[in-house]
Chain A
């Protein structure tokens, strides 16, 4: 079965630490996304990438950066973690176009990383 794998399920970091969240997909998808999910706010897009070394800001990029050196891997970086970045982080990937077999765009999510910054 196709997969999006996030490296950590739970993470606890201290304020000011540099944090790396890793995401790997095995579906040869062009697009990859990082969202954060907070109660009452739904999923909000942080950054996305539509090709290797390409990235675009989402709705809430402040305090984050990303890296996509290989097609299958998309990393989210918190340069200096703060308590307001405590959240659930979800990675997703998708095709550029329509996936006839799935009858959708093939959006697939990882299981999420629950990050707590203390």
Chain B
């Protein structure tokens, strides 16, 4: 059965800390891995990764994929309270479906 596992399930950090969120996957026909940030409503798109070893960056966020070891990490440097959210990892297989992990709840304290 296809699955996506995120860790940790939750964490609390202080402003300015750096955090690393993990996502491992086992899917039959991997096509790409996506990261989303979900605050109180709709998940919003952060990154899509299709190739191993190529880091994607957006401001203080970055992400990288390892297709050999079947995992991805999402890094957030110099965290701010506005980074508090649920971070979702999803894998897209051939076809149109996304398989989601359970999410990591991040809380950044001031």
Additional A-B contact list (19), CB under 8 Å, known A45-B98, A90-B43: A31-B96, A33-B97, A35-B100, A40-B9, A42-B6, A43-B43, A43-B88, A43-B100, A44-B100, A45-B99, A50-B96, A94-B96, A104-B34, A105-B48, A107-B45, A109-B44, A110-B42, A112-B41, A112-B42
Q: How many residues belonging to B are interface residues under a CB distance threshold of 8 Å?
A: 22
Q: Are B41 and A42 in contact (CB-based, < 8 A)?
A: no
Q: Are B97 and A48 in contact (CB-based, < 8 A)?
A: yes
Using a CB–CB distance below 8 Å, which chain A residues touch chain B? 4, 31, 33, 35, 40-45, 48, 50, 58, 90, 94, 96, 102-105, 107-112
- Which B residues are CB-close (under 8 A) to A96? 96
Using a CB–CB distance below 8 Å, which chain B residues touch chain A? 4, 6, 9, 32, 34, 41-45, 48, 88, 90, 92, 96-103
Report the Cα distance A108→B43, complex, angstroms: 8
- Write the chain B residue with the least CB distance to A32: B96
- Which A residues are CB-close (under 8 A) to B4? 42
User: Closest approach, in angstroms, between the C-beta of A14 and any C-beta of chain B?
Assistant: 26
- Which A residues are CB-close (under 8 A) to B45? 102, 104, 107
Which of A44, A50, A105, A109 is close to B42, meaning CB atoms less than 8 Å apart?
A109
Q: List 13 A-B contacts (CB under 8 A).
A: A40-B102, A41-B102, A42-B102, A42-B103, A45-B98, A90-B42, A90-B43, A102-B45, A104-B45, A109-B42, A111-B42, A112-B41, A112-B42
Q: Are A45 and B34 in contact (CB-based, < 8 A)?
A: no
- Which B residues are CB-close (under 8 A) to A109? 42-44
In the complex, the 4 A-B pairs of residues with the closest C-beta atoms, listed nearest first: A109-B42, A111-B41, A42-B102, A43-B100
Report the Cα distance A25→B101, complex, angstroms: 25
- Write the chain A residue with the least CB distance to B1: A59
Asked if A48 meets B96 with Cβ closer than 8 Å, knowing A42-B102, A112-B42, the reply is: yes
Asked if A45 meets B97 with Cβ closer than 8 Å, knowing A40-B102, A104-B48, the reply is: yes
Asked if A103 meets B96 with Cβ closer than 8 Å, knowing A41-B102, A42-B103, the reply is: no
- Which B residues are CB-close (under 8 A) to A42? 4, 6, 88, 100-103
- Which B residues are CB-close (under 8 A) to A44? 100
